[in-house]
Amino acid sequence: MGRLMQFEGRRLLRQTSLYICLGILVLMVFVSAFSTYSMVKLMGEDASTAIMLASGLSPGDLMCGKGYLISAAGSSSLLMLFGIAAALYFCADYTGGTLKNIIGRGNSRSSVFLTNQAYVMVMGLIFGVICWLSGLFFGSLFWGLGKNWDVSAILRQLLLQMLVMWAFGAFYSFWSVLVRKTGWAVALCILTPGLISTMAALLDIFTTKKDFLVSNYWLTSCLTYASTPGAGAEDVSRSILVALAWFILFCLGGWLISRRQDV
């Protein structure tokens, strides 16, 4: 297992697409901060009001290094780029035929899946950290660091973001191990999170119990709560449980599929 970890680790770190996706992520965070900055500069009070109405937060909470540190992960580009990189990483062994060399020399399907899953989590951590740092950097660059730093609250939200990212990582691994084709896996990883969100939102419309929202039990909502500065304790607690449940479910599903697959 140690050699497999070393082998897969080298593969991850030498995956060009990982660096390309990370580069695009940094660029997207910059574009997001810059466009908000330009909009506020051009429109003045109107833009601030619009931001307040859209997020329910004061512009001061959002438009600063602290605000962008927490909220940068909420952009759809993070999930999309992480999904692409994870699918490319996971499917490379299937499409290149290298899985034959790995399994054929005595590595079990379970250990291969778990190692890959572990590295998708590492990838999630890399994406998360880069996203936070670039959010903090560009937010501070345009508006300054921000006031009232409640470090423990920020850490709690960032940890929740990471948990949700790992649950998404398990979701991407699940699709990759199921379809085993790079193109399909990338497409599914990009499209399905949004598709499930839309379906959940549609179900919410038809739900009679107004205190129960289906969409609250899908990962996208969890990430929204995790990346909203000052999110409520109840939402955060529920998001932790939901993310954990999906993480376990997708890991288990992917592992069961991989165990019975011919290579």
Q: Which residues bind another protein (CB under 8 A)?
A: 3-4, 6-7, 10-11, 14, 16, 92, 96-108, 260, 262-263
Give me the least distance between CB of 104 and another protein, in Å please.
4
Of the pair 64, 114, the CB lying nearest another protein is at 114
Closest listed residue to residue 217, CA positions, set 174, 161, 146, 164: 164
Give me the least distance between CB of 222 and another protein, in Å please.
35
Q: Which position has the token pair 């199921």?
A: 178
Closest listed residue to residue 217, CA positions, set 249, 245, 194, 192: 245
Of the pair 178, 249, the CB lying nearest another protein is at 178
Of the pair 35, 110, the CB lying nearest another protein is at 110
Q: What's the DSSP call for residue 82?
A: H
Of the pair 99, 170, the CB lying nearest another protein is at 99
Give me the least distance between CB of 107 and another protein, in Å please.
7
Give me the least distance between CB of 118 and another protein, in Å please.
16
Of the pair 99, 219, the CB lying nearest another protein is at 99
Q: Which position has the token pair 């969890």?
A: 222
Of the pair 118, 263, the CB lying nearest another protein is at 263
Contact call for residues 137 and 65 (beta carbons, < 8 A): yes
> In 10 A of CB 56, how many CB atoms?
11
Q: Which residues contact 59 (CB under 8 A, 6 or more apart)?
A: 40, 48, 51, 52
Give me the least distance between CB of 177 and another protein, in Å please.
16
State how far the Cα of 63 lies from the Cα of 137, in Å rounded to an integer: 12
State how far the Cα of 124 lies from the Cα of 131, in Å rounded to an integer: 10
Give me the least distance between CB of 174 and another protein, in Å please.
21
Q: Which residues contact 28 (CB under 8 A, 6 or more apart)?
A: 75, 77, 78, 81
**How many C-alpha atoms does 236 have within 13 Å on its Cβ side?**
18
Of the pair 133, 256, the CB lying nearest another protein is at 256
Give me the least distance between CB of 110 and another protein, in Å please.
11
Provide the token pair at 154.
Answer: 């920020």
